Structure 1
Amino acid sequence: MPLIKTKKTEKYTYAIWKIEENSETLLKLLKPNKYELTLLNKISNQKRKDQSIAAKILLNNILQKKTTIFYNGKVPYCKEISNISITHSDNYAAILLSEKKIGIDLQKEEQKIIMLKNKFLSKEREKNNYSIEDLHFIWTAKEALYKTLNGLTCSIKDNIYIEKKMKKGYFIKNNVKIEYNLESKKINDLYLSIAIKSI
């Protein structure tokens, strides 16, 4: 199990895993219970299934015991810790644990993000000449922030704003405004962003 990165702070713990094992090995590492098997059997895409298994194994390794991830809609949670956030990209999986409201997103670098920028940049921001790196950081920061909203209906393009210096982000809709602290970094060809709800 090649761990690419682990980090533990006062606010959170996260780990990133590069998935090199085959599906059979992943299942043996997870030792899934009946509930986990039921959920996994609903995932038809094998790559997505392997990513899901990897995230579950990461959680077990961080907590050093068998732990089950449950879902409220699409929002993951477990009994052992207040907040968890999960992300996958290609053959990578990552999980973030915290007692605070948090979100994580991981994306492998891809040139096609240039063609997709109109899906997550406001019309005003689309005019800016962003680099590939800038676009990945904005995208992952918005996705990380979105994951803290527990499925709340919103537009990543129009309701989530990221400051130019990538230190702050905001969810703004109607009369609601929520501020977030952001942490972003590049690890090899991976872009990682973490959003932490400000108090």
Structure 2
Amino acid sequence: MGLVKIKNVQNGKIGFWKISHDDDLKFAETIFTSYHPNWKNYRNNKRRHQILATRLLAHELCPKNDIKQNKFGKPDLISGTDFISISNDNNYIGLLLSNQSCGIDLQSVNTKILKIAPKFQNKNDFIQNNDIQELTQLWAAKEAMYKVHGIPTILFKEHLTIKQKSSNDFIGFCAHPKLKFQCKINMHSFKNYLLAFTSEIIDH
């Protein structure tokens, strides 16, 4: 399948890729070589394919660039002033390219979310029940928000709160002692997946 779609969004664009046996992995080995340079050391073939497919997707959105990862594992473009965020789930990869710090998260909707909900849901979040769809929205929104800065001391339950404006529009608030900001988060669904991505960051 390969490239599924490139979509223009506020402040940037999003690319989607579906992993396929037809992916040109040989070509992927020669591009964006700073992104997971030790990918061959991964024993899991699916993870290796994900990395190479991510390179192919990045090549579609910003072909003359490369991706490095900072000390926390957050991806950054090597050249230019744009920002990047990456997410994958099963056979799909999402990549957000933006003119400001950004975050994207892709999640399949399933009952596993019920087990981890107590670890990320707080009393101020927009959902206070066990609805699987809404819990997945909350999780994806917090993941996308976390990736804006990607600092490990940001805790989902203690520091991040999500409010809902409409069915597809949310606002996130970060109350970390050393990093306070809010952002708009957009939500889209396709098949059995939810995609959350930030569209505007307001630092305090």
Instruction: Give the alignment's TM-score, normalised by structure 1.
Output: 0.86
1:169 aligns with 2:200: no
Return closer, same or farther for 1:127/1:103 CA change in 2, 3 Å cut-off.
closer
Structure 1 residues without counterparts, runs of 5 or longer: none
Determine the structure 2 residue equivalent to 1:191: 194
> For residues 82 and 136 of structure 2, what CA distance do their matches in structure 1 show?
28
Counterpart-to-counterpart distance in 2, 1:68 and 1:164: 35
Q: Who is 1:75 aligned against? A: 74
C-alpha distance in 2 between matches for 1:2 and 1:101:
26
The residue number in structure 1 matching 2:151 is 151
Whether the aligned pair in 2 keeps the contact of 1:81 and 1:98 (CA below 8 Å) is no
Residue 35 of structure 1 deviates from its aligned partner by 4.4
Q: Kindly provide the amino acid, as one letter, of the partner of residue 198 in structure 1.
A: I
**Paired residue type of 1:169:** G
> Aligned partners of 1:36 and 1:193: how far apart in 2?
23
- The RMSD of aligned alpha carbons is 2.4
- Contact conserved, 1:82 with 1:100, CA < 8 A, in 2? yes
Pair 1:126–1:177, CA change in 2 (3 A)? closer
CA distance in 2, matches of 1:163, 1:10: 20
Please report how far the alpha carbon of residue 161 of structure 1 lies from its aligned counterpart in structure 2 after TM superposition.
Answer: 0.6
Deviation, 1:77, is 1.2
| Aligned residue type for 2:159 | N
Say which SS state the counterpart of residue 181 (structure 1) adopts. strand
Q: 2:113 maps to which residue?
A: 113
Alpha-carbon separation, structure 2, partners of 1:182 and 1:98? 14
Output the amino acid matched with 1:77. Answer: D
What is residue 100 of structure 1 aligned with on the other side? 100
Q: Whole-Å Cα distance in 2 between the matches of residues 118 and 58 of structure 1?
A: 34
Aligned partner of 1:45 in structure 2 is: 44
CA drift of 1:183 comes to 0.4
Q: Aligned partners of 1:197 and 1:52: how far apart in 2?
A: 28
Contact 2:35 2:55 in 1 (8 A): no
Runs of 4+ in 1 over 4 A off after TM superposition: 33-37, 123-127
Unmatched 5+ stretches in structure 2: none
Structure 1 pair 126–35 and aligned structure 2 pair: CA distance change class (3 A): closer
C-alpha distance 127-139 of structure 1, shift in aligned 2 (>3 A): closer
Return closer, same or farther for 1:66/1:159 CA change in 2, 3 Å cut-off.
same
Distance 2:142 2:54 in 1: 21
C-alpha distance in structure 1 between counterparts of 2:127 and 2:193, whole Å? 25
Cα offset, 1:81, TM superposition: 4.5
Per-residue Cα deviation, 1:66-122 (whole angstroms, up to 9, x for no partner): 532111120111114421000010111111001111100001122111122112112
The TM-score, its normalising length taken from structure 2, stands at 0.85
Distance in 2 between the 1:47 and 1:175 partners? 37
